[in-house]
């Protein structure tokens, strides 16, 4: 799976920093938790310690209020003058809305007036001899499951003791809730096994009562208690003892909710901070990776791409002193070395290419075909000459197997080919000829070849080389030479015979003419005499042609406009062509010039056109074309008819002297044509198809090539 | 949250009340008299005034200090001035209307105490006996309370004793020494009161009590008897007192065989534009009352009340 470097770097940075952030977050949260719990514990301890102060202040406040009330003039007067109802009303008024439970005046005579009792009651008279009656004190009363704090002070009028005033505060739920508000903690009071009052709500109160009932002899001062879904830290302290010496236990309950919420808030803040840090880190990582890392790596990558595209001159411009800077420097050094190596390599390549081209040119320029074979018998390379030689039978040589290669050779050639191949390792030069048909009407190609070994750098056999030389022309020349020799002998023989025949023919003709003169026209012998003279004339014409063929002739070459050559010929054959209903279609440029012997070339065209006309008994067309082959020294002439055509055998022998297919032909017309063409240094080809027509095509060289 | 809800609700209720009931007209009445007007007395006076003048409006009674510069004209108020007082301070346009309210000084006996069936006026002796019975029943309590810190009260006793203790044919034989006489037999008001205190029949705190305190003590059932100013019409129908004084019996202060009540008259002054439903005042002689003379009383108060008060405290009779 592909993961980009940027992703890796960002991921790595992100993972690293997020791990660090997570660790810091966890450790800081843990530390905060620990410190918060510690502070919370300290707060409980502090609250427990402050409870006593608070309790003392409560008692002092109660006592001070009792003293204040005891100093009230109305209280004193009403008490003194028996205005009990007024006293009760005044006391009721005094403690109204103060939160005190009651105010009670005990007169010396034992009469007790209480703020919450409309009727006074009678108690024991106060013992005036008891000096304690002049003292103030505070007590805790546990009456009917209710707890009171009672401050009692003496009341004097003008220095005379008139009674004692008691101010009570009921330590009930309301009072404890006020206390709880001041202390910011839930407070409960328990006496004996009963929970007297509590600032807790009913569920909490019940749980606290159960806790107290079951564990009122608990040893530790601070413990945890789950009330409902809230966990409270409970601090326990013995406040005081009641007048019956029962200890009054105060339970201080501080909900851990706030602490937990603070912890949660701290955790949340830490988490938020961590998230922000992570986001910032991610952004920083992206920017860092982009600005510091990726952009520089991208620069190096782009540089590598540029170098890959071939521009080895590229150098990274801004190079810093860090690792990437070292990498950039190394890259620049690599690019420089690559550049040098490339230059050197380019030089070598150029040399090798030059050499290869040179060799290729040699091979390509060779007229000898060179084909290399692998040891497995497949053609690996072939030069241009080989490709050209075999282009008629193979569209491509490379990859061709040995058997495929030889399949189209003549049987004798295949035999010689394999025989030479078997003797490849022997000393001596095993030459052999390969013959194969180039195609229909194209004749046989003859190549002379031999095998040689192809060795590698270690002189080990790598394959073998087949070199071939085209000797087809040589074979043809050899055959033509043979034929020419035969013709030459025949010409000489014919010339000597003709010379020997010509003289008696002249005598016969002379005598025949004399007989014509001497014989009357109506003489019956006259007809015989005329036949004699006519046949002598024809025989004399044959002899003349024979002598013309055999006679070595001088030539008179000159550059003429082709039209001047062909026009008299066309005029000459016009009558004959019309007679045979043959249409002559000359096709040539009017400015075409040829360097020929005009009289002889006229003879060529005359012979060829006459032959063509005679081949078309029922009329037809004769195309006479002349043009210069582009990029060639040859001027090409074509005489093409739509006549009866010729067989292959006739075509092959058509230029032989005395070979004719007509009854009255001499067999010398086309022989003379070929002789004239040869005299011009040209060549003539014939192609014919029975029933469709014949085309003679001859090539004449230009002036400078002659 | 609840406070936030309560405030708009109260405001809404107040608005509804204001819309539902038209603003009641108020009649402001200024009071000029020697008396100190306690809330209970003012309430009784208001009811009496309302009955007498047939005023259905809210009556606002406001004691008036003559030294204060009250713009009576601007207030359009009525003024009740004690007969005998100088009326020159009244703004121009105020004149006396044909109406008045009489206030009488009576002994108010609480009927809430079982065993105190007073069906008819008592004399001094009977009063003393009742006091002693009550004291005996509740030794820690004092059956009688007076507002002796009030100079007016002292003057009342003085006038009453002067009028009632006068030797006549029915009087008891004179005793050589005051100390040998029962307190109820004393002809001097101060001695009478002093001796009653000494016998724990009259609450000694009376010396420091004003009229308001005295009424409060009585109302709180801390005394069975107390002297009070009440509208004269209440004498004929004691039920009128119940709203302020509870179930009581109004008696002429029992000094010897006294059957009269001290009386002051508050005369109504108004502006001519004020149409008051007042009946023609009929002056009929009434021997049930002893009319107090404002000028003489004030002179006594000014000249003798301090000495009499001191004598009441010092005693030594």
- Whole-complex ipTM: 0.82
Interface touch B222/A77, C-beta < 8 Å: no
CA distance A528 to A520: 12
Tokens 């086309």 appear where? A670
Note which residues in 180-209 of chain B have CB less than 8 A from chain A.
203-205, 208
For residue B203, which residues of chain A lie inside 8 Å, CB to CB? Answer: 81-83
- What is the C-alpha to C-alpha distance for residues B187 and A638, in angstroms, rounded to an integer? 196
Residue A503 has pLDDT above 90, yes or no: no
Are the beta carbons of A300 and A327 closer than 8 angstroms?
Answer: yes
End-to-end CA distance of chain A: 78
Residues with Cβ within 8 Å of A84's Cβ and at least 6 positions away in sequence, in order, are A78, A111, A113, A120, B140, B141, B222
Closest of A118, A85, A91 to residue A105, by C-alpha: A91
The alpha carbon of residue B78 is apart from the nearest alpha carbon of chain A, in Å, by 36
Which tops the pLDDT comparison, B153 or A308? B153
Closest CB to B204: pick one of A81, A84, A85. A81
The gap from C-alpha A641 to its chain's centroid, in whole angstroms, comes to 65
φ, ψ (nearest 5 deg) of residue A51: -60, -40
d(CA B58, CA A10) in angstroms, rounded, equals: 90
Sequence-distant (6+) residues with CB within 8 A of A243 are: A139, A140, A141, A142
Contacts of B210 by beta carbon, 8 Å cutoff, 6+ apart: B36, B147, B149, B150
HSE-up of residue B72 (Cα within 13 Å, Cβ side):
27
CB distance A83–B217 less than 8 Å? yes
Q: Do B141 and A82 touch (CB under 8 A)?
A: yes
Residues of B in contact with A89 (CB under 8 A): 220
**∠ at Cα A26 (A20, A32), nearest 5°?**
130
User: Would you give the distance in Å from CA A548 to the centre of its chain?
Assistant: 83
Give dist(CA A20, CA A14) in Å, integer.
10
A81:B140 CB<8 A: no
Q: For the ranges A76-80, A187-191, B63-67, B150-154, which has the lowest average pLDDT?
A: B63-67
**Inter-CA distances, A650 with A380, A609, B113, Å:** 43, 18, 185
**Closest listed residue to residue A512, CA positions, set A490, A528, A529:** A529
Rounded CA-CA distance B201/B144 in Å is: 6
Chain B hits for A82, CB-CB cut-off 8 Å, are 140-142, 203, 222
C-alpha distance across the termini of chain B, in Å: 69
| Angle made by CA atoms A162, A163, A165, in degrees to the nearest 5 | 135
- Name the average pLDDT for chain A: 84
| Structural contact between residues A593 and A556, judged by C-beta atoms closer than 8 angstroms | no
Classified as helix, coil or strand, A45 is helix
Whether A109 sits inside 8 A of B142 (CB atoms) is no
Is the pLDDT assigned to residue A552 strictly greater than 60?
no
**B141 interfacial to chain A (CB closer than 8 Å):** yes
Contact check, Cβ <8 Å, B140/A86: no
The minimal CB distance from A89 to the residues B140, B203, B220 is found for B220
Smallest Cα–Cα separation from A58: which of A164, A169, A184? A169
User: In angstroms, rounded to a whole number, what is the distance separating the alpha carbons of residues A659 and A670?
Assistant: 9
- Report in angstroms the alpha-carbon separations of A704 from A132, A561, A595, A626: 170, 17, 9, 19
Whether residue A696 is predicted with pLDDT greater than 80 in this model: the reply is yes
Which of B254, B145, B275 has the alpha carbon at shortest distance from B210? B145
pLDDT in tens, A128-154: 888 888 899 999 999 988 999 999 999
Q: Do A109 and B140 touch (CB under 8 A)?
A: yes
Residue found under tokens 């023989």: A493
Mean pLDDT of the A159-186 span: 89
Which of B57 and A187 is assigned the larger pLDDT? A187
Query: pLDDT at position B1, please?
Result: 45
User: Among B82, B55, B80, B92, which residue's Cα sits nearest to residue B276?
Assistant: B55
Residue (of A80, A106, A84, A112) closest to A163 by Cα position = A106
Type and span of the H or E element at A700:
strand A693-701
- The pLDDT, as a whole number, for residue A641 is 92
CB B175 within 8 A of CB B182: no
Q: Is A157 part of the contact surface with chain B (CB cutoff 8 Å)?
A: no
- CA gap B103, B266 in Å, rounded: 8
pLDDT, tens only, A29-45: 888 888 888 888 888 88
Tokens for B112? 């809430």
Task: Nearest by CB to B203, from A81, A107, A109: name it.
Answer: A81
Residue with tokens 């087949």: A466
| pLDDT for residue A550 is more than 80 | no
Q: In what order do the strands lie in the sheet with A146-157?
A: A117-122, A111-114, A102-107, A160-170, A146-157, A137-143
Which pair of structure tokens corresponds to residue A615?
Answer: 């081949």
Q: Greater confidence, A443 or A255? A: A255
Degrees (nearest 5) of the Cα angle A133, A137, A142?
115
- The confidence score (pLDDT) of residue B171 equals 47
pLDDT score of B157: 93
* Percent of chain A residues topping a pLDDT of 70: 94
B246 interfaces chain A, CB cutoff of 8 Å: no
Q: Tell me if chain A has a CB within 8 Å of the CB of B217.
A: yes
Give the closest of A77, A78, A85 to B221, CB-based: A85
What is the pLDDT, as a whole number, of residue A114?
Answer: 92
pLDDT at A21: 78
Point out the residue among B140, B142, B203 whose CB comes nearest to the CB of A111.
B140
Q: Of the candidates B142, B208, B216, which has its C-beta nearest A82's C-beta?
A: B142
Q: Does B222 touch chain A (CB under 8 A)?
A: yes
Instruction: List the beta bridge partners of residue A260.
Output: none
CB contact, 8 Å: A107 with chain B? yes
Report percent pLDDT > 90 for chain A: 15
Contact flag A82-B221 (C-beta cutoff 8 Å): no
Backbone angles phi, psi at B133, to 5 degrees: -60, -45
The pLDDT, as a whole number, for residue A291 is 76
Per residue in A594-621, pLDDT (tens digit) is 888 888 899 899 889 988 988 888 889 9
One pLDDT digit (tens) per residue for chain B, 317 residues: 444 555 666 666 555 554 444 445 678 888 899 998 888 899 999 888 888 877 777 888 888 876 565 566 555 678 899 999 988 888 888 888 888 899 999 999 988 766 666 777 788 888 898 899 889 888 888 999 999 999 999 999 999 998 876 555 444 445 456 667 788 888 889 999 999 999 999 999 999 999 999 999 998 888 989 999 999 988 888 888 888 888 888 889 988 888 899 999 999 988 876 666 555 555 566 788 999 999 999 999 999 999 999 999 888 77
Q: B32 - beta bridge partners? A: B81
> What is the distance in angstroms between the Cα of B312 and the nearest Cα belonging to chain A?
17
CB B241 within 8 A of CB B230: yes
Residue A190 neighbours by CB distance under 10 Å: 24
Three-state DSSP state, B115: coil
**Which residues of chain B lie closer than 8 angstroms to A77, CB-CB?**
205, 208
Once rounded to an integer, what is the mean pLDDT over residues A554-575? 86
For residue B208, the chain A residues in CB contact (below 8 A) are 77
Write the CB contacts of A452 (distance below 8 Å, at least 6 apart in sequence).
A424, A464, A465, A467
Judged by CB atoms closer than 8 Å, whether chains meet at A86 and B142 is answered as no
Using only C-alpha atoms, what is the Rg of chain B? 22
Going by C-beta distance under 8 Å and a sequence separation of 6 or more, which residues neighbour residue A253?
A: A185, A186, A187, A188, A200, A204, A208, A225, A227, A232, A233, A234, A235
Structure tokens at A373: 């074979």
Nearest-CB residue to B141 (from A80, A84, A89)? A84
Token pair, residue B301, equals 């108060």
Centre a 10 Å sphere on the Cβ of residue A673 and count the other Cβ atoms it contains: 23
Note the pLDDT tens digit of each residue in A234-259.
Answer: 888 888 889 889 899 888 888 888 77
- What residues in B contact A107, CB-CB < 8 Å? 140
Q: Is A385 exposed, middle or buried (0-12, 13-18, 19+ CB in 10 A)?
A: buried
Q: Is B213 exposed, middle or buried (0-12, 13-18, 19+ CB in 10 A)?
A: buried
The dihedral built from the CA positions of residue A26, A30, A32 and A36, taken in this order, carries a sign that is: positive
- CA B161, distance to chain mean position in Å, is 17
pLDDT tens-digit readout, A328-359: 888 888 888 888 888 888 888 888 888 888 88
Which of A85, A107, A111 faces B220 most closely, judged by CB atoms?
A85
Judge: A89–B204 Cβ closer than 8 Å, yes or no.
no
Which of B112, B148, B205, B206 should we substitute to test contact with A (largest number of A Cβ atoms within 10 Å)? B205
Q: Output phi, psi for A239, to 5 deg.
A: -70, -60
B218 touches chain A (CB under 8 A): no
Phi/psi at A224 (5° precision): -100, 145
Helix/strand/coil (H, E, C) string of B217-249?
HHHCCCCCEEEEEEEHHHHCCCHHHHHHHCCEE
Within 8 A of A113 by CB-CB distance, chain B residues are none
Average pLDDT, stretch A551-560?
A: 75
CA-based nearest distance A165→chain B, Å = 18
**B66 is written with which tokens?**
């003559």
Strand partners, A103: A167
Q: Cβ–Cβ of A83/B204 closer than 8 Å?
A: no
How far, CA to CA in Å, does A612 sit from each of A577, A579, A620, A636, A684? 9, 13, 9, 18, 16
Phi, psi of A433 (to 5 degrees): -110, 140
Q: What residue of B is the nearest CA neighbor of A112?
A: B140
> HEC string of A258-297?
HHHHHHHHHHHHHHHHHHHHHHHHHHHHHHHHHHHHHHHH
Of B205, B208, B222, the CB nearest to A84: B222
DSSP characters over B126-163? HHHHHHHHHHHH-TTS-SEE--TT-HHHHHHHHHHHHH
User: Is A545 touching B (CB cutoff 8 A)?
Assistant: no
Q: Residues in chain A, how many?
A: 706
Range in A225-234, A394-403, A536-545, A565-574 the model is least confident about: A536-545
**A77 in contact with chain B, both atoms CB, cutoff 8 A:** yes
Q: Which residue segments constitute the domains of chain A, with CATH numbers given?
A: 40-267 (3.30.450.20), 366-470 (3.30.450.20), 478-549 (1.10.287), 555-701 (3.30.565.10)
**pLDDT value for B21:** 46
Nearest to B297 by CA among B286, B308, B288, B287: B308
Residue A69 CA to residue A73 CA, distance in Å, equals 9
Distance CA B153, CA A324 (A): 116
């Amino acid at each position: 799976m592909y993961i980009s470097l940027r992703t890796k770097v960002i991921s790595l940075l992100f993972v690293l920093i997020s791990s660090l952030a997570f660790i810091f977050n966890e450790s800081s949260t843990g530390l905060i938790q620990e410190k918060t719990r510690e502070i919370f514990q300290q707060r409980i301890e502090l609250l427990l310690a402050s409870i006593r102060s608070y309790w003392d202040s409560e008692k002092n406040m109660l006592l001070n209020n009792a003293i204040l009330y005891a100093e009230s003039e109305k209280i004193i007067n009403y008490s003194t003058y028996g205005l009990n109802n007024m006293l009760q009303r005044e006391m009721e008024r005094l403690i109204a809305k103060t939160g005190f439970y009651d105010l009670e005046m005990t007169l010396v005579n034992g009469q007790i007036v209480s703020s919450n009792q409309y009727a006074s009651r009678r108690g024991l008279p106060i013992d005036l001899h008891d000096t304690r009656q002049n003292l103030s004190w505070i007590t805790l009363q546990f009456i009917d499951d209710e707890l009171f704090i009672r401050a009692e002070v003496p009341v004097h009028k003008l220095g005379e003791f008139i009674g004692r005033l008691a101010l009570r505060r009921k330590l009930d739920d309301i009072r404890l809730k006020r206390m709880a508000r001041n202390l910011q903690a839930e407070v409960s009071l328990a006496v004996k096994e009963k929970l007297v009052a509590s600032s807790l709500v009913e569920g909490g109160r019940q749980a606290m009562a159960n806790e107290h009932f079951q564990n009122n002899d608990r040893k530790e001062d601070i413990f945890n208690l789950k009330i409902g879904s809230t966990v409270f830290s409970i601090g326990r302290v013995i406040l005081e003892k009641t007048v019956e010496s029962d200890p009054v236990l105060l339970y201080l309950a501080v909900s851990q909710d706030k602490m937990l919420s603070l912890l949660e808030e701290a955790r949340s803040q830490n988490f938020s901070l961590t998230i922000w840090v992570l986001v910032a880190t991610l952004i920083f990582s992206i920017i860092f990776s982009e600005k510091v890392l990726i952009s520089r790596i991208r620069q190096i990558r782009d540089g590598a791409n540029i170098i890959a595209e071939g521009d080895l001159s590229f150098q990274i411009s801004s190079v810093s002193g860090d690792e990437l800077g070292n990498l950039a420097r190394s890259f620049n050094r690599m690019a420089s070395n690559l550049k040098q190596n490339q230059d050197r390599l380019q030089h070598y390549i150029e040399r090798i290419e030059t050499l290869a081209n040179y060799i290729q040119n040699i091979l390509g320029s060779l007229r000898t075909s060179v084909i290399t074979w692998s040891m497995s018998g497949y053609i690996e390379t072939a030069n241009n000459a080989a490709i050209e030689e075999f282009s008629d039978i193979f569209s491509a040589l490379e990859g061709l197997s040995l058997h495929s290669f030889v399949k189209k050779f003549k049987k004798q050639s295949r035999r010689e080919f394999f025989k030479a191949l078997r003797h490849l390792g022997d000393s001596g030069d095993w030459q052999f000829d390969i013959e194969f048909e180039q195609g229909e009407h194209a004749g046989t190609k003859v190549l002379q070849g031999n095998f040689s070994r192809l060795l590698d750098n270690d002189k080990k056999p790598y394959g073998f080389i087949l070199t071939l030389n085209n000797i087809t022309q040589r074979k043809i020349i050899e055959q033509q030479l043979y034929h020419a020799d035969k013709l030459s002998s025949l010409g000489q023989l014919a010339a000597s015979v003709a010379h020997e025949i010509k003289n008696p023919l002249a005598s016969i003709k002379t005598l025949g003419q004399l007989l014509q003169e001497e014989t009357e026209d109506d003489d019956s012998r006259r007809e015989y005499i005329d036949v004699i003279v006519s046949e002598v004339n024809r025989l004399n014409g044959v002899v003349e042609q024979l002598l013309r063929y055999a006679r070595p002739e001088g030539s008179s070459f000159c550059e003429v406009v082709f039209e001047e050559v062909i026009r008299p010929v066309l005029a000459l054959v016009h009558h004959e062509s019309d007679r045979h209903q043959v249409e002559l279609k000359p096709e040539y440029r009017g400015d075409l010039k040829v360097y020929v012997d005009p009289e002889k070339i006229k003879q060529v065209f005359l012979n060829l056109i006459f032959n063509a006309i005679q081949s078309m008994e029922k009329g037809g067309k004769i195309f006479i074309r002349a043009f210069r082959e582009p990029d060639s020294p040859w001027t090409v002439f074509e005489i093409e008819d739509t006549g009866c055509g010729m067989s292959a055998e006739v075509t092959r022998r058509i230029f032989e002297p005395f070979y004719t297919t007509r009854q009255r032909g001499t067999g010398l017309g086309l022989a003379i044509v070929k002789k004239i063409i040869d005299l011009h240094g040209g060549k003539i080809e014939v192609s014919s198809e029975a029933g469709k027509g014949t085309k003679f095509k001859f090539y004449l060289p230009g002036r400078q090539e002659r | 949250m609840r406070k936030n809800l309560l405030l708009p609700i109260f405001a809404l209720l107040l608005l509804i009340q204001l819309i539902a009931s038209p603003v009641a007209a108020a009649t402001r009445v200024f009071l000029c008299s020697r008396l100190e007007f306690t809330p209970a007395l003012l309430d009784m006076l208001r009811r009496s005034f309302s009955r007498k003048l047939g005023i259905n409006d809210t009556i606002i009674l406001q004691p008036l200090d003559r030294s204060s510069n009250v713009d009576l004209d601007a207030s359009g108020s009525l003024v009740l001035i004690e007969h005998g007082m100088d009326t020159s301070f009244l703004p121009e346009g105020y004149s006396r209307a044909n109406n008045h309210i009489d206030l009488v000084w009576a002994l108010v006996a609480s009927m809430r105490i079982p065993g105190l069936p007073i069906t008819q006026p008592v004399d001094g002796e009977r009063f003393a006996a009742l006091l002693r019975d009550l004291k005996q029943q509740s030794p820690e309590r004092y059956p009688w309370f007076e507002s002796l810190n009030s100079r007016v009260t002292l003057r009342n006793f003085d006038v009453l004793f002067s009028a009632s203790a006068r030797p006549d044919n029915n009087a008891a034989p004179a005793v050589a020494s005051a100390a040998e006489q029962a307190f109820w037999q004393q002809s001097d008001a101060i001695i009478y009161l002093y001796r009653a205190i000494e016998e724990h029949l009259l609450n000694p705190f009376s010396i420091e009590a004003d009229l308001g305190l005295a009424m409060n003590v009585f109302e709180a059932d801390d005394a069975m008897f107390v002297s009070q100013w009440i509208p004269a019409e209440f004498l004929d129908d004691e039920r009128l007192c119940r709203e302020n004084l509870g179930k009581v019996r109004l008696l002429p202060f029992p000094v010897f065989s006294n059957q009269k009540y001290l009386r002051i008259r508050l005369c109504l002054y108004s502006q001519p534009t004020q149409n008051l439903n007042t009946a023609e005042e009929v002056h009929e002689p009434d021997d049930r009352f002893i009319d107090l003379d404002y000028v003489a009383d004030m002179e006594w108060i000014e000249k003798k009340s301090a000495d009499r008060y001191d004598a009441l405290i010092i005693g030594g009779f």
